[in-house]
Amino acid sequence: MNAATDERMPWLDTLFARSYARHRQRYVELWLLVSAFGILLLAWPSQFWTEHPLWGPGGGDAPAFLVSMASATAIVVLFVVPWTLRVAFRPIVLFLRGEPVDPTDVWFAAVRRLPVAGVTFTAAFCVFGNIPTLVAVGRPRGFDGLDYLGGWLVACLITAAAGAFFVLAWEIAFRPLLREVQPLLPPDFDGGTSWLTLTRRSALASASAMAYTGAAVGSLVAGSEDREHVLVITVLATIGASVTFGGAITVLVSHSIFMRLSELKAALVRIGERDYRVRVAVRAGDELDEAAASLNRMAERLEHEEAELRASRARLASVADAERRRMERDLRLRVLARLRQVRQDVTEVASELPDVPALHRLCERVRVTTADAMLEIHRLARGVYPAELTSGGLEAALEAAGQRAAVPVSVRSDGVGRLDPVHESSVYFTCNEAVQNAAKHAGPDACVTIDLARDNGRLTFVVSDNGQGFEAADVGLGLENMRDRVRAVGGDLMVGSAPGSGTTVRGWVPA
């Protein structure tokens, strides 16, 4: 991942992408470790002490806390880590270690099994974490059945909220993996529709934030009869829970949604710029995935149509090029040969004529007219398809054309070599037309420079003059024809000009 990629990605995605690049083979284990520490050092202790006021006065808090932490540690060590590595995310683990695995299995593990894993872990903590904690807390306090049930429900609300937070965090953490897997999926891959749609995800996030806030507030004010105290604690706890947990979970959900909307927008911009190779990752089987799949199908169809159009244009350009060659050959080999024969015949006739000045003057006029016609046909043949382009290549042909041009022309090149004849002729006639335009419109003191370069599979050409220029909106039919000629062989062309600043024609063709 390079710096340019970092700049295009939000900071949260950049953080996960760098972590993925650095620890790719152990990425799942790394995030299991991070999640385990988050649960054992932050989430579970916070839940215990958030519920503490709800339980009321009583002893045995320290042993109860130890029991709670031991239960949570046992769940993480004995269930969460083994089940995740060996069952839920096993295809991901195998893929990251370089072992053979079906990419669709990796996709389903990262997308579909993630909510299942979240629900499973939450259920495990609700049953095997909250129940032992409540037993350890309730026994010294003399809880009855309703006390246990109420405490367990409150604990489950907080646990479920924390579980939703970890699911959303893991969803973002798996994005670098999905970016790598996406190109490996079959072209006809259909992930189906996930239960965790955008609507349900947003509802889950909102419900989790409200549940956590309500449980925290209810727990902190439980048993207090001072109305002012209750009011102050309620306001402070609501603000604190909303800013911390509620804010964090809202950021994750909004980031997840708006990041994908940004990807769709960026893809549409690239399609608008005629880059039809763009594809949007299909990630979660929700509504945005349906939009992404539709956009991908549209891009594939446009790419196919663009390829067909370019192939058709290339065939037409090839036919036109062959026709130019045939016309040039016919002019040189047939028409010129006949004119030479006419001149030779006139010379022979003149040698046999009697000494009649009028007849000799007539034969001389025929010889001169024939010679002029031969020069004109030479010029026409060179315009149809210059011999220098066939024998010497693009640089030689442009230098020869520059010597014949009505304005001073300088050709600069780093040694582009020979190209496909169709591409050579396209560049030659485009540059030649740009020089002719400069001769007509740039002014009497204008000079023209032609720059040729070859790099990264492209031959680029720039025809620039120091003439009077024109308004960019005044691009005429001739410039459009130049652009069409270059696009016909798979390239592109741009024209830049401004009054008093000259004109620059810049283009490229495949090399």
Residue 233's pLDDT band, with cuts at 50, 70 and 90, is low
The tokens 């539709």 sit on which residue?
A: 294
pLDDT band at residue 300 using 50, 70 and 90 as cut-offs: confident
107-156 tens-digit pLDDT? 888 888 877 888 888 888 888 888 999 888 888 888 888 888 888 888 88
- What is the tens place of the pLDDT at every residue in 478-499? 777 788 888 888 888 988 888 8
**What would the mean pLDDT of 330-336 be, rounded to a whole number?**
69
Model pLDDT, residue 186:
83
The two tokens of residue 55 are 């339980």
Residue 4 clears pLDDT 50, i.e. is over it: no
Bridge partners of 508? Answer: 460, 492
DSSP 376-413: HHHHHHHHHS-HHHHHT-HHHHHHHHHHHSSS-EEEEE
pLDDT of residue 5: 38
pLDDT band at 388 (very low <50, low <70, confident <90, very high): confident
What are the CA-CA distances from residue 234 to residues 220, 224, 367, 443 (Å)? Answer: 8, 11, 113, 81
Q: What is the percent of the chain with per-residue pLDDT over 90, rounded to a whole number?
A: 8
pLDDT of residue 7: 40
Longest dimension (CA), the chain: 148
381 pLDDT exceeds 70? no
What would the mean pLDDT of 2-12 be, rounded to a whole number? 49
> Residue 240 — pLDDT band, cuts 50, 70, 90?
low
Amino acid at 390: T
Out of 58-72, 163-177, 396-410, least confident range: 163-177
pLDDT tens for each residue of 409-431: 999 988 888 888 888 888 988 99
Q: What is the DSSP string of 145-189?
A: HHHHHHHHHHHHHHHHHHHHHHHHHHHHHTHHHHHHHGGGS-TT-
How many CB atoms within 10 Å of residue 109? Answer: 26
Q: What is the pLDDT of residue 324?
A: 66
Degrees to nearest 5, angle at CA 94 with 88 and 97: 135
Mean pLDDT along residues 6-14: 60
The count of residues in the chain is 511
How far is residue 325's CA from residue 321's CA, in Å, rounded to a whole number? 6
When pLDDT is averaged across residues 83-87 and rounded to a whole number, the result is 85
pLDDT in tens, 442-469: 888 889 999 999 888 889 999 999 888 8
* 249-282: pLDDT as tens digits: 666 666 667 777 878 888 888 888 778 888 887 6
* Residue 228, amino acid: E
**Exposed (0-12), middle (13-18) or buried (19+): which is 116, by Cβ within 10 Å?**
middle
Q: 236-245, 273-282, 332-341 — which one is most confidently predicted on average? A: 273-282
Q: Is residue 492 within 8 Å of 508, Cβ to Cβ?
A: yes
Question: CA-to-CA distance for 316 and 389, rounded, in angstroms?
Answer: 20
pLDDT of residue 2: 38
Residue 477 has pLDDT above 70, yes or no: no
CA distance 467 to 439: 9
Upper half-sphere CA count for residue 487 (Cβ side, 13 Å): 14
SS3 420: coil
Q: What's the whole-number mean pLDDT along residues 386-399?
A: 82
* Whole-number Å distance between alpha carbons of 393 and 511: 14
Cα separation of 198 and 288, whole Å? 8
Collapsing DSSP states into helix, strand and coil, what is residue 475? coil
Nearest to 442 by CA among 464, 469, 463: 469
Q: List phi, psi (to 5°) of 372.
A: -60, -40
**pLDDT at 296 > cutoff 80:** yes
Compute the Cα dihedral for 49, 53, 54, 56 and give only its sign. Answer: positive
318, pLDDT greater than 90: no
Mean pLDDT for the chain? 79
Sign of the torsion formed by the C-alpha atoms of 162, 163, 166 and 172: negative
Closest CA to 248 of 133, 351, 164: 164
Task: Choose between 290 and 240: higher pLDDT.
Answer: 290
- Give yes or no for a contact between 438 and 426, defined as CB atoms under 8 angstroms apart: no
Identify the residue with better confidence: 352 or 296. 296
pLDDT for the residue 229 = 63
Would the pTM count as exceeding 0.75?
Answer: no
